[in-house]
Structure 1
Amino acid sequence: MSTFDKREDAYENKFAHDEELQFKAFAKAYKLLGLWAAEKLGKSGAAAEDYAKGLVAEGVVKHDSKAIIAQILKDFVGAGVEQSEHQITRHFEEFHALALNEIKNG
C-alpha cells in the first residue's frame, strides 16, 4: 500500500468517525430537546420518553433539525405553551453542543 493510499484511508476513516459522532450528537440532542419539550407540554414518565423517542426517530429519518423544531412549535401552539421558534432553536443548539461535548469526551 502506497503512502497516498494510506493517507486516503486515514482521511476516509476520520470522515466516517466524524459523521458517526455527529449522528450520535444529533440523536442525543433531539432526545434532550424532546424531554425538555415534553416537560413544557406537561408530559412525564413514559409519555415524556415516548415523545422524545418520536422526535429522535423523526430527526434520524429527516436529517433536519428545523423540521423537529417546527413539530415542537406546532405541539406547543396546540397546547398553549408560549415558546418562540427562536427559543426552541436556542435550546436545541445548547443541547447539541452539550451532546457533542459528552460524546467527544467520553
Structure 2
Amino acid sequence: MTTFDDRERAFEAKFAREEEMAFRVHARRNRLLGLWAAEKMKLTPEESEAYAKAVVQADFEEAGDEDVVRKLVGDLTAAGVDTGDAEVRKALDDMAVEARRQMIEAQ
C-alpha cells in the first residue's frame, strides 16, 4: 500500500502546486491589467501601483472576472477615457498571456 500512498501524496502535491501557480498568474494578470488602466488614465507611478493593488483586491468581491471588468470600465469611464467592455476584456486576455509568460520565466 505504500506505493499507492506515495502516488496519492505526489498527485496531491502536484495539484497544490498547480493551484498555487494558477492563483499567482491570476493575481499578476489583475495587477498588469490595473497598470494598463492606470496608464490610460494617466496616473502617476505611485497612483498606478495603488490602483493595480485595488484591481487585485476587487477580484475577491465575487467569483469570475465580472467584478474586475466592472471596476475597470467604471473607473476608465469616470476618468474620461473612451473605452468599452470589449476593450477591457481584450486587455484582460492579453494580460493573462503576459502574466503566464512572466511566471514561467521566473521559475
Instruction: Please confirm whether the aligned pair reaches a TM-score higher than 0.5, indicating the same fold.
Output: yes
Quote the sequence identity (%).
32
Structure 1 portions without partners, runs of 5+: none
2:88 matches 1:79: no
| Structure 2 letter corresponding to 1:12 | E
| Structure 2 letter corresponding to 1:17 | R
Q: How far, CA to CA, are the matches of 1:91 and 1:29 in structure 2?
A: 10
- 1:1-106 matches, within 5 Å, as 2-60=2-60, 62-106=62-106
Q: CA deviation at 1:95?
A: 0.9
| Structure 1 letter corresponding to 2:51 | Y
Query: Is residue 30–residue 55 contact of structure 1 (8 Å, CA) maintained in 2?
Result: yes
| Structure 1 letter corresponding to 2:64 | D
TM-score (norm 1): 0.89
Number of equivalences: 106
RMSD over aligned CA atoms reads 1.6
Which structure is richer in relative contact order (CA contacts within 8 A, separation 6 or more)? 1
Per-residue CA deviation, residues 20-74 of structure 1 (Å, 9 max, x unaligned), is: 1111111111111001101111212111111111111222454532211110001
Q: How far, CA to CA, are the matches of 1:60 and 1:99 in structure 2?
A: 18
